[in-house]
Amino acid sequence: MIHAVAYIGARTLKFISELGHITVFGFRLCVAAVTPPLRGGLLLDEIYKLGVLSLMIICISGLTVGMVLGLQGYNTLVRFGAEESLGAVVALSLIREFGPVMTALLLTGRAGSATTAEIGTMVATEQLDGLRMMSVDPIDYVVKPKALMMLLVTPLLSALFIVFGIFGGYLIGVAMMGGDSGTFIASMENSVDFVNDVAGSFLKAGLFGVLIGLVATYRGYSCEPTSAGVSAATTSTVVTTSVSILIFDYFITALWGV
Amino acid sequence: MEPTDPINPVNGAAHIVLDNVSMSFNGRRVFDSLSCEFPRGKISVVLGGSGVGKSTVLRLIGGLVRPCSGRILVDGDNVCELPDRKLYSVRDKLGMMFQGGALLDSLNVFDNLAFPLRESSKLDEEEIREEVHRRLRSVGLSDVDELLPGELSGGMVKRVALARAIMRSPEILMIDEPFSGLDPVSTKMIEALLLRLNRELGITMVVVSHHVRSTLRMADWIVLMLPDGAVAGTPGDLLNSQDPCVTRFLNEDPDEALAALENPDAATEYSR
């Protein structure tokens, strides 16, 4: 019994300590973000690595999710004679939920894990210490470009996911099931509100981008300088970020109605 | 020979002072109450077996880790008490060559060497290019600008790392295990390079090594770290020591060690 209490206590203390460290890390990152130099070349590099290299997976995933939504939505709505609402169902599901959440989860697996592994390897091979010894802050040179660009690319990729998803839903609902094209588009136009739905979706994706950027860079930055440490940090990034995204998603939806 | 009380037999002020420094990682003791000095403008070698904390000494001097207790003075500044921002101004005086090179693996050799200048100097690209090539020549390399660190041999990595460490003309150069993993020819080449850099630039050097022969050839001052404490002195002091721990460690090859001591010019032969 005492061991169980001690174990829970130790885990709680570790969690609080970790929370403190990530807060300090986040604060240092914010300071670095508004402190010159901007490092434009590195930012462009990161847009390529995090964004451009994720295009394929985002487009294919968006298309297939939209197609599944179209198929499931049509089969469900047709039972109630409400198949003309398919456009609204597909668009609202993608814009409000699937777009930002699925994009964030996919980015966590593809770019978040790669970011942790890259920074972790730099820790293990003393490259970050090398930067410090050259009077260069690794948070400014290594972490800042990755975290900032994650914040930028997540909403953009989410928008792309949504576009491909809607196209997938249209393909199924109209081209395959024989629904009316005009009705699909009109239903979508009438139901989607720019401020509540589209802007909210961007906001949600942006927050997920902050979360992925912060956790992925922090895990890499603070990992044990061994190959096992890098591996553990990479796994931890995927698990922690994925679970956090789903929890945050619930609270954002519940509190802000997005 | 003395235990590691603050002594400085190499006439002149100590550039770096460790005063009663204790260090442990995650509750595991590395060393207790270590006190030693590193003379200005000389080559000091921190010698010792694996796991006694040699590399930790360099990391402590560079402020990369903080000690559990004690003071570390670098040119008079106590790096243990400095906040990160001020630590960077102390590091401007330091250059460090890491054991594995620590070259940025996303940059080629030229950009790795240009990096410290682009970050901290106002030189234009043409001046940086000249400076990079001058440093590369000084470590015996040419035509390697476009190579990535992963495409270099072990000896070349060490030399590029050494060139990067001296790019900002540091007052103090710290070198971690320059001879590890190198063949005898490369070892002597690096050794000659270090001697030449010390003689030409007058840099204070702190070299961490467990390579006894090279140490005896090149060191002006040796700090020998043993499991139960450290002993410091000139190579002659240590070779004449009656302490069995010292003699056991140094006399891995007694004939070679004595030959190196009796022929102090041996090292300069290599630099020719």
> By the CB < 8 Å criterion, does A36 face chain B?
no
Per-residue pLDDT for A131 more than 80? yes
> By the CB < 8 Å criterion, does A130 face chain B?
yes
Interface test with A, best of B60, B79, B104 (most A CBs within 10 A): B104
Sign of CA dihedral A118, A119, A125, A131: positive
Nearest to A133 among B62, B84, B100 (CB): B62
Identify the pLDDT of residue A18: 92
Identify the pLDDT of residue B201: 85
State the DSSP string of A83-146: GGGHHHHHHHHIIIIIHHHHHHHHHIIIIIHHHHHHHHHHHHTTHHHHHHHTT--HIIIIIHHH
- Mean pLDDT in residue range B156-161: 93
CA A24 to chain CA centroid, nearest Å: 22
Cα–Cα distance for residue pair A110/A133, rounded to 1 Å: 31
CA B94 to chain CA centroid, nearest Å: 11
Identify the pLDDT of residue A134: 95
- For residues B183 and B138, is the Cβ–Cβ distance under 8 A? no
Amino acid at site A7: Y
Chain-chain contact of A134 with B120 (C-beta, under 8 angstroms): yes
Ranking B6-20, B65-79, B128-142 by mean pLDDT, the lowest is B6-20
Q: What's the pLDDT tens digit per position in A44-66?
A: 999 999 999 999 999 999 999 99
Nearest to B102 among A130, A135, A136 (CB): A130
Cα–Cα distance for residue pair B57/B43, rounded to 1 Å: 15
Cα–Cα distance for residue pair B41/B178, rounded to 1 Å: 19
Provide the domain limits for residue B31.
2-93+206-271
Cα–Cα distance for residue pair B222/B219, rounded to 1 Å: 6
Per-residue pLDDT for B272 more than 80? no
Q: What's the pLDDT tens digit per position in A156-207?
A: 999 999 999 999 999 999 999 998 999 999 999 999 999 989 999 999 999 9
> Considering only alpha carbons, which residue of chain A is nearest residue B64?
A129
Identify the pLDDT of residue B263: 55
- B3 vs A160: which has the higher pLDDT: A160
Cα–Cα distance for residue pair A86/A53, rounded to 1 Å: 32
Per-residue pLDDT for A107 more than 70? yes
From A39's Cα to the closest Cα of chain B, the distance in A is: 11
Report the b/e string of A187-198 with b at 16+ CB within 10 A.
Answer: bbeeebeeeebb
CA distances from A243 to A25, A154, B131 (A): 21, 17, 50
What residue spans of B26-80 are helical by DSSP H? Answer: 54-61
Closest CA to B14 of B209, B201, B223: B223
From A135's Cα to the closest Cα of chain B, the distance in A is: 5
Is the residue at B146 inside a domain?
Answer: no
Nearest to A135 among B103, B105, B120 (CB): B120
Cα–Cα distance for residue pair A11/A66, rounded to 1 Å: 41
Overall number of domains in chain B:
1
Beta strands in chain B (DSSP E): 2-3, 14-25, 28-39, 43-48, 69-74, 77-78, 94-97, 172-176, 204-209, 221-226, 229-233
Identify the pLDDT of residue A73: 95
Per-residue pLDDT for B268 more than 50? no
Is the residue at B239 inside a domain?
Answer: yes
Is the residue at A27 inside a domain?
Answer: no
Is the residue at A5 inside a domain?
Answer: no
Per-residue pLDDT for A135 more than 60? yes
Chain-chain contact of A133 with B100 (C-beta, under 8 angstroms): no
Provide the percentage of residues in chain A whose pLDDT is more than 90.
94
Q: What's the pLDDT tens digit per position in B27-63?
A: 888 888 899 999 999 999 999 888 889 999 999 999 9
Is the residue at B223 inside a domain?
Answer: yes
- B163 vs B2: which has the higher pLDDT: B163
From A137's Cα to the closest Cα of chain B, the distance in A is: 9
Half-sphere exposure of residue B70: CA atoms within 13 angstroms, side-chain side:
23
Ranking A17-31, A150-164, B251-265 by mean pLDDT, the lowest is B251-265
Is the residue at A25 inside a domain?
Answer: no
> By the CB < 8 Å criterion, does A129 face chain B?
yes
- Mean pLDDT in residue range A233-243: 97
Is the residue at B259 inside a domain?
Answer: yes
Closest CA to A145 of A100, A94, A111, A95: A111
Is the residue at A223 inside a domain?
Answer: yes
Is the residue at A222 inside a domain?
Answer: yes
Cα–Cα distance for residue pair A105/A111, rounded to 1 Å: 10
- Mean pLDDT in residue range B167-175: 94
Identify the pLDDT of residue B8: 44
Identify the pLDDT of residue B5: 41
Interface test with B, best of A39, A133, A136 (most B CBs within 10 A): A133
Provide the domain limits for residue A118.
39-256
Identify the pLDDT of residue B261: 47
> By the CB < 8 Å criterion, does A31 face chain B?
no
- Which tokens is A203 given? 């906001």
Rg of chain A over CA atoms, in angstroms?
A: 21
- B84 vs A105: which has the higher pLDDT: A105
- For residues B234 and B271, is the Cβ–Cβ distance under 8 A? no
Q: How confident is the model at residue B86 (pLDDT cuts 50, 70, 90)?
A: confident
Interfacial B residues in 77-116 facing A (CB < 8 Å)? 84, 88-89, 91-92, 94-96, 98-100, 102-105, 115-116
- Which tokens is A60 given? 């294919």
Identify the pLDDT of residue B267: 36
Per-residue pLDDT for B258 more than 50? no
- For residues A136 and B108, is the Cβ–Cβ distance under 8 A? no
Is the residue at B153 inside a domain?
Answer: no
From B76's Cα to the closest Cα of chain A, the distance in A is: 18
Nearest to B91 among A126, A127, A135 (CB): A135
Is the residue at B140 inside a domain?
Answer: no
Give the mean pLDDT of chain B. Answer: 85
CA distances from A117 to A75, A80, A223 (A): 43, 50, 10
ipTM for the complex shown = 0.84
The enclosing domain of B83 has a CATH number of 3.40.50.300
Overall number of domains in chain A:
1
Q: CA angle, B256 as apex, B253 and B260 as ends, to 5°?
A: 135
Identify the pLDDT of residue B245: 82
Cα–Cα distance for residue pair A26/B101, rounded to 1 Å: 29
Cα–Cα distance for residue pair B243/B200, rounded to 1 Å: 35
Half-sphere exposure of residue B140: CA atoms within 13 angstroms, side-chain side:
16
Per the listing, tokens 């995090």 go with A50
Q: How confident is the model at residue A146 (pLDDT cuts 50, 70, 90)?
A: very high
What residue spans of chain A are helical by DSSP H? Answer: 2-33, 40-46, 55-77, 86-93, 99-107, 113-124, 127-133, 138, 144-170, 181-191, 200-221, 227-256
Is the residue at A165 inside a domain?
Answer: yes
From B270's Cα to the closest Cα of chain A, the distance in A is: 29
Identify the pLDDT of residue B264: 46
- Mean pLDDT in residue range B93-99: 95
Ranking A11-25, B151-165, B207-221 by mean pLDDT, the lowest is B207-221
Q: What's the pLDDT tens digit per position in B133-153?
A: 999 998 889 999 999 999 999
Per-residue pLDDT for B262 more than 70? no
Identify the pLDDT of residue B12: 56
Ranking A191-195, B4-8, B246-250, B257-261 by mean pLDDT, the lowest is B4-8
Q: How confident is the model at residue B104 (pLDDT cuts 50, 70, 90)?
A: very high
Identify the pLDDT of residue B227: 78
Cα–Cα distance for residue pair B79/B67, rounded to 1 Å: 10
Per-residue pLDDT for B3 more than 70? no
Chain-chain contact of A133 with B105 (C-beta, under 8 angstroms): no
Give the mean pLDDT of chain A. Answer: 95
